[in-house]
Every structure is written in structure tokens, then in C-alpha cells.
């Protein structure tokens, strides 16, 4: 069975997005962090997105600005197969993207059972909140970012019951970000 990871940025006060639904606060670049994110983004595999995150990514990564700022990441994002879970999106124009409708848990279970590379969710908190209780996420890679937002939405809004995890590894970055990796307990 293929592995599914979720890579998420979270503020010190526990928010995934700010009160306006934005994540611009999560960008704290320095050489070490840029190298890590470049390696992560070009490491192969397939990406799973919700509509909102997909549209945000699709508006940036194919752009000339992205190609100039981070050419390796932009090229990797362009070539990577992308699945977009949406009931309202009618098409996906970004290269190698496919819209998936229907029961997200059943669809992801089917994708995990199929042959192929590992899969990753970038952002897409509503998908994480649906797939984690179903036992479909194998590893949570949470980046704790040293900022307090004072409001927003948490990553696990609406899960309904406590979920338990065990830490598998950590890494601290010079810009203050801390990578916390967890597996289901």
C-alpha cells in the first residue's frame, strides 16, 4: 500500500490558516529552509489537494515569477501528478491535474491500494480532517512556525473525536520553524 503524508504549516497558537483563510504568514525563507522545501517538493510522488489549495498553487507555481524564484520547485510541481478533490470544480488546467469527485475516503483508499509512488497532501486542511480519522494518513509533517495569529482555522476542525499520534522525528531550522513528524498511535 502506498504511503500518504500530510505536510502542514501551523502557527504557534495552533492555526492552519489565518482569520482571512490565508497562509502568507507561513513563508519564512532562509537558505536552510529553502533547501529543505525544494528537496521536499521535488522528491517525486503525487499530490492531493482540496479545491482552495489547488487553485492557490495553480495560480502561482506555473507562473514566470515562480520559475524565476524557485525554478526546481516550480518544475517539480508542474510535472507532478495532482489529484484535486472537489465537488464544485469542473476542470483542472494545471499540468498533470485531475479532478476527483465523490467520497474522498473511498477515493483515497483506492489510490493508496493502487501501484505508484508515495502521495502527499500540501495544505488542504479539510482533506486532512477527513482522512486522518479514517486512518488514511500515514505521517503528519507539521511545521510549527514562530508566529501567533490570534485567530483562524485549526487543521483538525470537525474531527469529532480525539486522535492520538506518536512522534517519529523532529528537526529545528535556523528561521525558527520546527518540523514535527507524527504517525498514528
Query: Tell me: the pLDDT tens digits for 72-100?
Result: 888 888 899 999 999 999 899 999 999 99
What pLDDT, on a 0 to 100 scale, did the predictor assign at position 131?
95
Contact 184, 148 (CB under 8 A): no
CB 33 within 8 A of CB 145: no
- The Cα 59–Cα 94 span in angstroms is 9
Percentage of the chain modeled with pLDDT above 70 = 97
Whether residue 174 lies inside any domain: the answer is: no
Can you give the pLDDT at residue 69?
Answer: 84
pLDDT, average across residues 43-68: 90
Establish if 150 belongs to a structural domain: yes
Kindly state whether residue 11 falls inside one of the protein's structural domains: yes
Residue 76 lies in a domain: yes
The answer to whether residue 177 is domain-embedded is: no
41 confidence band (pLDDT: 50, 70, 90) = low
pLDDT score for 157: 87
Instruction: Check residue 43 and give its pLDDT.
Output: 55
Burial (CB count <10 Å: 0-12, 13-18, 19+), residue 64: exposed
- Give percent above pLDDT 90 in the chain: 70
185: in domain? no
Number of domains in the chain: 1
Q: What is the pLDDT of residues 4-13, one digit of tens each?
A: 999 999 999 9
What are the φ/ψ torsions at residue 52 (nearest 5 degrees)? -60, -50
DSSP string, 11-70: ETTS-SB-TTS--GGG----HHHHHHHHHHHTS--EEEEEHHHHHHHHHHTTSHHHHHH-
> Any idea what DSSP says for residue 154?
-
Domain membership of residue 180 (yes or no) is: no
- For the domain that residue 140 is a member of, what is the CATH number? 3.40.430.10
Q: Residue 140 belongs to what domain range?
A: 4-166
Domain presence at residue 15: yes
Residue 48: strand pairing partners? 83, 121
Amino acid at each position: 500500500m502506498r504511503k500518504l503524508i500530510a505536510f502542514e504549516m501551523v502557527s504557534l497558537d495552533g492555526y492552519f490558516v489565518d482569520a482571512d483563510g490565508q497562509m502568507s504568514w507561513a513563508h519564512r525563507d532562509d537558505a536552510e529552509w529553502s533547501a529543505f522545501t525544494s528537496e521536499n517538493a521535488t522528491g517525486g510522488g503525487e499530490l492531493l489537494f482540496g479545491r482552495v489549495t489547488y487553485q492557490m498553487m495553480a495560480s502561482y507555481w506555473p507562473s514566470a515569477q515562480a520559475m524565476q524564484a524557485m525554478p526546481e520547485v516550480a518544475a517539480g510541481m508542474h510535472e507532478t501528478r495532482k489529484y484535486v478533490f472537489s465537488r464544485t470544480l469542473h476542470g483542472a488546467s494545471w499540468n498533470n491535474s485531475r479532478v476527483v469527485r465523490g467520497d474522498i475516503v473511498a477515493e483515497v483508499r483506492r489510490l493508496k491500494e493502487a501501484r505508484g509512488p508515495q502521495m502527499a497532501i500540501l495544505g488542504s486542511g479539510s482533506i486532512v480532517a477527513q482522512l486522518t480519522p479514517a486512518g488514511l494518513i500515514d505521517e503528519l509533517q507539521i511545521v510549527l512556525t514562530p508566529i501567533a495569529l490570534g485567530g483562524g482555522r485549526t487543521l483538525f476542525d470537525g474531527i469529532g473525536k480525539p486522535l492520538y499520534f506518536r512522534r517519529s522525528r523532529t528537526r529545528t531550522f535556523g528561521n525558527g520553524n520546527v518540523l514535527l513528524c507524527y504517525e498514528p498511535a
